[in-house]
Amino acid sequence: MSVHMLIAGFGGQGVLFAGKIVAYTGMIEEKQVSWLPSYGPEMRGGTANCSVCIDDKPIGCPIVLNPKTLIVMNRPSYDKFINEVQPGGTVVLDSTLIEADSTRDDITVCAIPATQMANDNGLHGLANIIMLGQTLKATGFCSMDVLKEAMKRCIPARKQHLLEPNLRALQMGYDY
Amino acid sequence: MAEKYLMKGNEAIAEAAIRNGCIHFFGYPITPQTEVSAYMSKVLPKIGGTFLQAESEIAAINMVLGAASCGVRAMTSSSSPGISLKSEGVSYIAGSDLPCVILNVMRGGPGLGGIQPSQADYWQATKALGHGDFQLLVFAPATVQEIVNLIGTAFDLAEKYRMPALILADGMLGQMMEPVEFPEITPKPAEKPYATTGTQGKRKPNIINSLYLQPDELERTVRERFARYDIIKQNEVRCEEYLTDDAEIILVAYGATARVVRSAVEDARACGIKAGLIRPITLWPFPEEAIRNAAARVDHMITVEMSMGQMVDDVRLYANGQCDVHFFGHTGGIVPTPAEVLDQIKKYAGGAE
Amino acid sequence: MASFHKTNGLTDAVFHYCPGCTHGIVHRLVAECLEELGILGKTVGIAPVGCAVMAYDYFNCDMIEAPHGRAPAVATGAKRANPDNIVFTYQGDGDLAAIGTAETVHAATRGENITIIFINNAIYGMTGGQMAPTTLPGQVTQTTPYGRDVTRAGYPIRMCEMLSTLDGVAYAERVTVTDVPNVRNAKKAIKKAFTAQIEKKGFSIVEVLSSCPTNWGLEPVEALKWLKENMIPYYPLGCYKDATEKGVF
């Protein structure tokens, strides 16, 4: 299936990294892939987002303006993008940080307290991965095996000790 | 098949340059191309190359001039405001008939402008990147893979024709990651008998120079250079046509914008409008023939750019009144959307539902 | 008996320099040093913009003509491309200490293993005698017709003193060529600078106080006298830094 995903939050929450993992799932499945970050002075603390497209045919515009899937991890991004989601699309939001108040009834909203779950389970900083697990469950954009493999490829050799907590976070998000 | 990597455009261009035998890089940090320098600084010292963070863009391009004079493949990269600073050196490099590759990851201007993607340096790149009568080879890749493929071409042609080549990218291409493979290549740098590597007491001194105080001598030199430009115009034009065969309306766009337009063309086809796209890959030499032929077949062409309309001048020039040439674009760092482009197509396609 | 012969370090081209100009002497000294050190065949010289712009026609080695002020950057590129070449720049005061100050200072602080021959004649010669960064306070030029007023035009720059504070500089010496002992001394300094480069000791610069009779509006001999009486007090001769024993790195 094709992926047309926007991942948004604060800089430092790992939204770009989560997007990279998604992009790698497309690589593994030998599809066309694009990953485009917002860039600039928002590196730390400001809002950051990235667009990920996966398709069988060449990616035209790599900017995701109307996402089929929106992963959102802060309020400003929720306000900015909630009305841009395609009808029939899916929104996965971190309910620890966002009180969802959209009245849209043409989209599926999955609320998951990812930040709280991460903090409660010694997975500090891995809310993004918990979100990713939930997104996989909600959309089935690839298989769990492919996503795990993508994660392995995104974690550099010298940080392999981080793989285990990441996989745990992924599963926790999926099982929620 | 070569292994695929997921890489940022900026990193891919650095890797591709190295694989094409360019191990001398001189740069200065500026958003959104800084990853080029960062990548070079990581790799080049390990393989006996030069990474040098210069004191200014001006110094960097002149280091390229010095290195290119000595016969090596040299490169610098920057983004719009930095390219303006390099223009002096670019003119001297062109006037000294030296090959090199320059990367411009365009951002919004004028002045300090902004840091988001832009194509507002088309005029600068194709008409006047420095003083005097001269041209650069200008390549406009639209994907990260194409950046990789073109950088070798840029070095080869720069050496073949002894002139600087410019890769004109933009913030979107520089920052985005796409799967990319690096074809197996053995770089074959041209012989450079003109290089200043020391006479070893065996030949007359080589002189790299752009000064000709006698007007007739200067004119002769410039005319010789322009004769070379004519050969380039005959042989080195590159462009891609997408769904133009039966098109009733043709769009013209390059670089990242061409991707947006390609999406819009597909959307238009889905609405029953026979739209097509001409994507210049070389901006100089410009695909004059493709524009001329297309203009003879359709009533409307639309040029889409991230600028106030610069390439549209060339499209109009070579359409030469055969059809209406319209312009649509955004500037300042705003990327046109496929929906906006589709609206433009609908506006001029006439009659189609 | 010793006899005079023209050094092989110079071509047969006839200098275009004005009568009494000391560029010719310095050219010869540089050329003699290159020949005597046996490095002519591996030397790449960088010509400036200014009176010495056509130095590429005079030195009998590979030459590159650089944009105004950029010679140290061009030299850097050349040296990095082929570190075994001997690379020198030959620059005037406007080129080195005004438009090219950044290139000069940064090549120096990087400890770039190149040699700079700096001609300080306190005026822009080629463009017809305008104020240089090294024009003396009160000195009349085309653009300081009432004399250099430091409250408006600022003070002259003493490059050797300034550069000698940088860790990358192996050797900085100021000399002149007003008479035979000074010419001999200048040659010694130039040779030492190139030797430092050969031995990879770091950045070396020799500043040569020179005369410009044409633009100073003086006869050649008067010009040398003016140089001695006015320039040397402001720009004292001597070695400002010598780290050629152990090098800069």
Q: Are residues B100 and B249 in the same domain?
A: no
Between chain B and chain C, the number of residue pairs with CB atoms below 8 A apart is 139
Interface check for C75 against chain B (CB to CB < 8 A): the answer is yes
Q: What is the pLDDT of residues B196-229, one digit of tens each?
A: 999 999 999 999 999 999 999 999 999 999 999 9
Q: Do B177 and A23 touch (CB under 8 A)?
A: yes
Q: Are residues B211 and B155 in the same domain?
A: yes
Question: What is the reported pLDDT for B353?
Answer: 42
Q: Which residues pair with B102 in a beta bridge?
A: B76, B166
pTM greater than 0.90 (yes/no): yes
Would you list the domain boundaries of chain C?
A: 23-242
Nearest to B243 by CA among B221, B220, B287, B273: B273
- Look at residue B275 and tell me whether its pLDDT is greater than 70: yes
Q: Grade residue B17 by pLDDT with cuts at 50, 70 and 90.
A: very high
- Look at residue C90 and tell me whether its pLDDT is greater than 60: yes
- Look at residue C4 and tell me whether its pLDDT is greater than 90: no
Q: Are residues B193 and B301 in the same domain?
A: no
Q: Do C73 and B205 touch (CB under 8 A)?
A: no
What is the DSSP code string of chain C?
Answer: -------TTB-SPPP-PPTT-THHHHHHHHHHHHHHTT-GGGEEEEE-SSGGGGGGGTBSSEEEEPPTT-HHHHHHHHHHH-TTSEEEEEEEHHIIIIITHHHHHHHHHTT-S-EEEEEE-SSBTTTTSB--TTPPTT--BTTBTT---HHHH-PPP-HHHHHTTSTTEEEEEEEE-SSHHHHHHHHHHHHHHHHHHHTT--EEEEEEE---HHHHT--HHHHHHHIIIIIHHHS--EEEEE-TTT---
Q: Kindly report the CATH number assigned to the domain that includes residue B115.
A: 3.40.50.970
Percent of chain B with pLDDT over 70: 99
User: With contacts defined as CB-CB under 8 Å, which chain B residues touch A20?
Assistant: 6, 177
Q: Are residues B324 and B272 in the same domain?
A: yes
- Work out the average pLDDT over B105-114: 94
Q: Which chains have 3+ CB pairs within 8 A of B?
A: A, C
Mean pLDDT of chain A: 93
Domain end: B177, B206, B235, which one?
B235
- Look at residue C180 and tell me whether its pLDDT is greater than 50: yes
Domain end: B204, B235, B266, which one?
B235
Cβ-nearest to C77 among B64, B197, B201 = B64
Q: Grade residue C3 by pLDDT with cuts at 50, 70 and 90.
A: confident
Q: Do C106 and B201 touch (CB under 8 A)?
A: no
Q: What is the pLDDT of residues C133-157, one digit of tens each?
A: 999 999 999 999 999 999 999 999 9
Q: What is the pLDDT of residues C221-242, one digit of tens each?
A: 999 999 999 999 999 999 999 9
Q: Are residues B79 and B10 in the same domain?
A: yes
What CATH topology corresponds to C23-242? Rossmann fold (3.40.50)
Question: With touching defined as 3+ CB pairs under 8 A, do chains C and A touch?
Answer: no
User: With contacts defined as CB-CB under 8 Å, which chain B residues touch A4?
Assistant: none
Q: Report the gap between the CA of B130 and the closest CA in chain C (Å).
A: 13
Q: Are residues B196 and B259 in the same domain?
A: no
Percent of chain A with pLDDT over 70: 97
Nearest to B34 by CA among B54, B64, B61, B11: B11
Q: Do A33 and B179 touch (CB under 8 A)?
A: yes
Q: Which structural domain range is residue B38 located in?
A: 4-235
Question: What is the reported pLDDT for B168?
Answer: 97
Of A38-52, B17-31, B223-237, least confident by mean pLDDT is A38-52
Helix (H, G, I), strand (E, B) or coil at B325: strand
Interface check for A32 against chain B (CB to CB < 8 A): the answer is yes
Q: Are residues B209 and B271 in the same domain?
A: no
Interface check for B67 against chain C (CB to CB < 8 A): the answer is yes
User: Contact, B278 vs B239, CB < 8 A?
Assistant: yes
- Look at residue B1 and tell me whether its pLDDT is greater than 70: no
What CATH topology corresponds to A3-175? Pyruvate-ferredoxin Oxidoreductase; domain 3 (3.40.920)
Q: Are residues B230 and B263 in the same domain?
A: no
Strands B137-139 and B100-106, by their bridges, are unpaired
Q: What is the pLDDT of residues B123-170, one digit of tens each?
A: 999 998 999 999 999 999 999 999 999 999 999 999 999 999 999 999
- Look at residue A43 and tell me whether its pLDDT is greater than 60: no
Q: Are residues B70 and B201 in the same domain?
A: yes
Q: Which chains have 3+ CB pairs within 8 A of C?
A: B
User: With contacts defined as CB-CB under 8 Å, which chain A residues touch B263?
Assistant: 60-61
Domain end: B235, B269, B289, which one?
B235
User: With contacts defined as CB-CB under 8 Å, which chain A residues touch B143?
Assistant: 58
Q: Kindly report the CATH number assigned to the domain that includes residue B308.
A: 3.40.50.920
- Look at residue B352 and tell me whether its pLDDT is greater than 50: no
Would you list the domain boundaries of chain A?
A: 3-175
Total domains in the fold of chain B: 2
Q: Which residues pair with C198 in a beta bridge?
A: none
Q: Is B160 exposed, middle or buried (0-12, 13-18, 19+ CB in 10 A)?
A: middle
- Work out the average pLDDT over B100-123: 95
Q: What is the pLDDT of residues B225-263, one digit of tens each?
A: 999 999 999 999 999 999 999 999 999 999 999 999 999
Question: Alpha helix locations (H) across chain A?
Answer: 15-28, 75-81, 114-120, 127-139, 144-154, 163-175
